[in-house]
Structure 1
Amino acid sequence: MKKYIFLLAVSCFAFGQQTPAPKQTQTILITGGKAHLGNGKVIENSIISIKEGKIAMIQDGTNFKPEKHDIYIDASKKHIYPGFIGANATLGLVEIDAVKASDDESEMGEMNPHIRSIIAYNTESGLVEAARPNGVLLAQIAPRGGRISGTSSVVQLDAWNWEDAVVKENDGIHLSWPRSFSRSGWWAEPGGIEPNKNYEKQVTEIQDFFNDAKAYFLANPAVRDIPYEAMKGLDTGEKTLFVHVDGEKEIVDAIVFKKKNNIQKMTLVGGYYAFKNIPLLKENNVSVLLRRVHDLPLLEDEDVNLPYKNAKLLDDAGILVGLQNAGDMERMQIRNLPFYAGTCVAWGMEKEKALQLITSNTAKILGIENQYGTLEVGKSATLFISEGDALDMASNQVTQAFIDGRNISLESHQTELYDRYKEKFEAQNKK
């Protein structure tokens, strides 16, 4: 029996998460790299000083002699980026889809604003460490299921536990707006489109819950109601209402709902047809976390390239837009987030504008722009160095990454397998 326990321990250790990096104690100077600041600006020959987890200096390094530092990193001919941010992610909530005990992304019931996804976030997930080698260093951990799914939080992706990981706790509540139409069949054999006869009833149920929450706060009862208590902050802007919605009519109805209930901050998640409601979005200051770029159009008669162009349509109109990755295999696919932005470049968007879709724009939407999303003095030194263009799958190769100035590991199960079989084939070639 003891033998089997020992073997299990060895197995768990071998495939466990990399040990989180210690707090920065030595000053770091990065020189010579092309710094993409995340705000549309670029410094060709940059010099970046990192002290106590913050960016102490960033400027053009030509003919500039900095003060002495403890560690020097030569980034000549390389690119430097702010850490990418994966919004609306279930990273760390599910490890193996087929194993129910490892699935914590949703809760029973319909109205669950009090369900906090951060409590279930597993920092030991192998999928967390698999995202970092492509520059994804932060994520919004969001719940799924029900009508009001719960409350999300923002984390950094190198931590011992969820308390260490939290960057912004309880940043917003996630609401799945009803669909006015439904489709029968499946993707290989799609059926017809039918109206949702219960649409108005479902919208009314949402309004009734919000009305009950308002009545609860006005009554100020002695006995606390936890779901209603979780609704605090939507009227003050402390929390954002993330409305998961794609349809044109549904988007209009959601914005009307925002005005009726005095919701200060609303973000559409998905927002596939948001480009058809641009004046309404601008008038009500509604941002969009756009549906996955690498996707098919929703209707058969639409431009097949619409998912690739959608971000540019919104950005050109002045809408604050970011990218997210919900959908099939979303936890595994989050490492492809930079390449979604790269696809937007291929379809007309300026490269530095596309970079903002997964850095500064997303940081603003999540309310963490004071510390993350751009390379600026005083902000967190959460950044990475790549040998090539980080938005290009062919050339992106992250060599070093820092979270709050901590030099984190880029090793994962995939890199271990690569090294293992590389040695095998190199040995065979020598024979």
Structure 2
Amino acid sequence: MQAIVNGTVHTVTERGTVERGTVVFEAGGASSPRRGDDAGGEIIAVGPADEVEVPDDAEVFDAEGSHVTPGLVEAHSHAGMAEWGEPEDGDFNEVSDPVTPHVNALDGFHPRDEELRKAFRGGVTTVSARMGSANVVGGIICSMKTYGTVADEMLIREDGMKAAFGENPKRFHGDEKDRQPSTRPGVAATLRQALMDAEDYVERREHAREEGDPFERDLGMENLARVVEGDLPLRVHAHRADDIATVFRIADEFGIEDLSIEHATEGHVVAEEFVERDVPAVVGPSISSASKYELRNITFETPGILHEAGVKVAIQTDAPVLPQEHLDVCVGLAVREGLPEEVALRTVTRNPAEILGIEDRVGTLEPGTDADLVVWDGPMFELASDARQVFVEGQRVYDSDRDDVDPREDYAW
């Protein structure tokens, strides 16, 4: 048993913030994440000091003057996939074809990617790791813990199918490969055809099962079938407002209700469309020049505008586009440009956890959730604040005052 005491505890639940609060939690095993009800690594109790009893044998951390939050969650990252910003060596774009639903991020996730180490040291304990945006359909993406040694043990769940609109798939396939898609209509047509193929596949599969006939399975179609049947969310890279509108149009055509818009650079222009469909936006990275035409309206005002309109908003770095450990900085800049302070923490904890479907594990501080906690020396979103201690499933994986906390320091970083 362990306990953090005397801190300002931000539960990110209906309970709100607890002054001089206490969090009691149990350390998990040597690897991550928790497996089974008796594996440890979860929060036992949260509340004011006079309501929470600290076990006599607990290791106690005094957080006097500090802020305690859930471990940060990023809903769109390439950490673990991009080999610390080396795209030529990374495993996040299978560019052999514009439609690659058969690939899975878990198979390319590298637990000792330096970006992951920087992540948990910066308070980011969970990321949705995924393929890049070269392909119209990129493959299955996965919610992963940032601390661990074996990818399978860091996996929380498969959280979606990656898709991409706009200039990236046009450039990769139209300009470089001289094949469809080379235009925005070509991108849309490619996705439509892939979804139609999946619907036809499901129909043939069901007919074969009913008749007892043999059926040759196809890995990519099996994965896309999960999308058209509503079992796997569609996560779509889209910057421009017209691309976002096209995504919504296609989703309506195929009855896809479980989706998110990733980047959403011009999401503020069509905020009412997000609200009408109850679609969340994963916004960012917004520290950028307009390196391509579709980014010309990039602004840190977008999260605040979308939030005020009633959209569920998460903030992302798109690491390694921006370093994963600067997720808190992105939140601070969004606050400066209008995002209310009282919802700032939620955009990198509870909101992304709910978008990814992992809110039962991460994103809040409440009994039964993973003991992923960060002790900050100031409010999380303030530039001067720093993560002082980080726990992943009850294991203290970083302490800014020590250099011997991470037990993997000698394991080939």
Tell me the TM-score normalised to structure 1 length. 0.79
What's the counterpart of residue 103 of structure 1? 90
Structure 2: distance between partners of 1:179 and 1:409: 39
After TM superposition, the structure 1 = structure 2 runs for residues 258-297 of structure 1, keeping only pairs within 5 Å, are 258-296=251-289
Structure 2: distance between partners of 1:395 and 1:258: 41
1:315 partner SS: helix
Structure 2: distance between partners of 1:303 and 1:177: 16
Which of 297, 308, 313 is the equivalent residue of 1:316? Answer: 308
**What's the CA shift for 1:399?**
2.5
Distance 1:46-1:146 versus aligned 2 partners, 3 A rule? same
What one-letter code is carried by the residue in structure 2 that aligns with 1:284? R
What's the counterpart of residue 25 of structure 2? 50
After TM superposition, the structure 1 = structure 2 runs for residues 343-354 of structure 1, keeping only pairs within 5 Å, are 343-354=333-344
The answer to whether the Cα contact below 8 Å between 1:132 and 1:410 also exists between their aligned partners in 2 is no
Which of 398, 401, 419 is the equivalent residue of 2:390? Answer: 401
Structure 2: distance between partners of 1:298 and 1:96: 21
What's the counterpart of residue 369 of structure 2? 379
**What's the CA shift for 1:387?**
2.0
Structure 2: distance between partners of 1:177 and 1:99: 20
2:305 partner SS: helix
The answer to whether the Cα contact below 8 Å between 1:84 and 1:138 also exists between their aligned partners in 2 is yes
**What's the CA shift for 1:84?**
0.6
Q: 5+ unaligned residues in a row in structure 1: which ranges?
A: 1-26, 184-195, 417-431
What one-letter code is carried by the residue in structure 2 that aligns with 1:390? M
Deviations 1:106-163 (Å, cap 9, x if unpaired)? 1121101111011111101222111222101111111012111111101111111111
**What's the CA shift for 1:320?**
0.6
Distance 1:105-1:411 versus aligned 2 partners, 3 A rule? farther
2:348 partner SS: coil
The answer to whether the Cα contact below 8 Å between 1:148 and 1:174 also exists between their aligned partners in 2 is yes
The answer to whether the Cα contact below 8 Å between 2:166 and 2:239 also exists between their aligned partners in 1 is no
What's the counterpart of residue 206 of structure 1? 191
What's the counterpart of residue 79 of structure 1? 67
Deviations 1:345-394 (Å, cap 9, x if unpaired)? 22232223111111111101111111110111221111111222222232
The answer to whether the Cα contact below 8 Å between 2:195 and 2:228 also exists between their aligned partners in 1 is no
What one-letter code is carried by the residue in structure 2 that aligns with 1:86? E
What's the counterpart of residue 28 of structure 1? 2
Distance 1:283-1:98 versus aligned 2 partners, 3 A rule? closer
What's the counterpart of residue 127 of structure 1? 115
What one-letter code is carried by the residue in structure 2 that aligns with 1:46? G
**What's the CA shift for 1:236?**
4.4
Percent identity of the aligned residues? 20
Between structure 1 and structure 2, the one with the greater Rg is 1
Tell me the TM-score normalised to structure 2 length. 0.82
After TM superposition, the structure 1 = structure 2 runs for residues 132-281 of structure 1, keeping only pairs within 5 Å, are 132-144=120-132, 145-168=134-157, 170-178=158-166, 198-220=183-205, 222-281=215-274
What one-letter code is carried by the residue in structure 2 that aligns with 1:326? D
2:9 partner SS: strand
The answer to whether the Cα contact below 8 Å between 2:73 and 2:127 also exists between their aligned partners in 1 is yes
Deviations 1:395-414 (Å, cap 9, x if unpaired)? 32x222111112224589xx
Structure 1: distance between partners of 2:290 and 2:83: 29
Distance 1:64-1:405 versus aligned 2 partners, 3 A rule? closer
Distance 1:316-1:132 versus aligned 2 partners, 3 A rule? same
What one-letter code is carried by the residue in structure 2 that aligns with 1:253? T
Q: 5+ unaligned residues in a row in structure 2: which ranges?
A: 27-39, 172-180, 209-214, 405-413
The answer to whether the Cα contact below 8 Å between 1:243 and 1:269 also exists between their aligned partners in 2 is yes
The answer to whether the Cα contact below 8 Å between 1:174 and 1:242 also exists between their aligned partners in 2 is yes
After TM superposition, the structure 1 = structure 2 runs for residues 299-310 of structure 1, keeping only pairs within 5 Å, are 307-310=299-302
**How well do the aligned residues superpose, as a CA RMSD in angstroms?**
2.9
